[in-house]
Amino acid sequence: MKYKLLVEYDGTRYSGWQVQKDQITVQGKIANAVREIAPNMKFDLQGAGRTDRGVHALGQVAHLDINQSIDCEKLKFKLNDELPKDVNIIYVEKASPNFHARKDAIARSYVYQISKRRLAFAKNYSWWVKDNLSVDRMRDVCELYKGVHDFASFSEKEKDGPSTKLKLDVMNIQETESLILLRFKSRYFLWKMVRRLTGIIVEAGRRKVSLDEAAKFLERPSPKIAELTAPPSGLFLENVYYSGVEEGEGITPPLLTATE
């Protein structure tokens, strides 16, 4: 039986989603929970996106393929009973035998939280930028990078990785009293791409990178981009989209708003 899981997690103490040898990961914790409730049973657990060390998820999607039929609500509660408090299964539903959390995803969205002030309760979930940022300049860079571009300069090289030429469908900014929220949506993202885009956007907001300089980063590599990579604390995998599922239907949890 195959199940579709919606997972939220605080990535602060994890070495990302994907299982790694001798590392604590979110996928590893969920796999351990499955072993507790179904001992000695083979299973396959796959996530829709590979989040890095310290990155969080509001709506990670995973599939669990196991040779056992369990009521969805019962499975959710059993898994959550075994999981640590910083990993939570929001819902479980039966999926098609052919469903694959990663391969069937048609888009993903990420949100990055920038704090405009020192926060007592959200240090692990935002990047406090002490400078007075020009949001208008940041929006200009967002408009520049939106659309189809080669983002090779904004990613770490991956062996057999996806094409570096892709389309950013959404890249916008929402400002609140305490936060600046950057939102990105694309069919897929390159490794470290969102954090490096965020770093350049912030530098533009600091008035240390001009619009012309930002445009040139799309034309040729620069070591400056890697040096300005934003910290993982403010990054959230917000949503994973699938064909035939209405956008936002049950898979867009609310943003962290405790700072307001």
Catalytic residue positions?
Answer: 52
Q: What is the largest CA-CA distance in the chain?
A: 59
Q: How far apart are CA 29 and CA 79, in angstroms?
A: 10
The pair of three-digit structure tokens given for residue 62, joined into one six-digit string:
């995973």
Q: Residue 89 in 3-state DSSP? A: strand
Phi, psi for residue 56 in degrees, rounded to 5: -100, 175
**Quick one: which of 92, 94, 95, 96 has its CA closest to 83?**
92
Check: CB of residue 129 under 8 Å from CB of residue 47.
no
Q: How far apart are CA 166 and CA 145, in angstroms?
A: 11
**CA torsion 196→133→179→113, rounded to 10°?**
0
Q: How far apart are CA 10 and CA 82, in angstroms?
A: 16
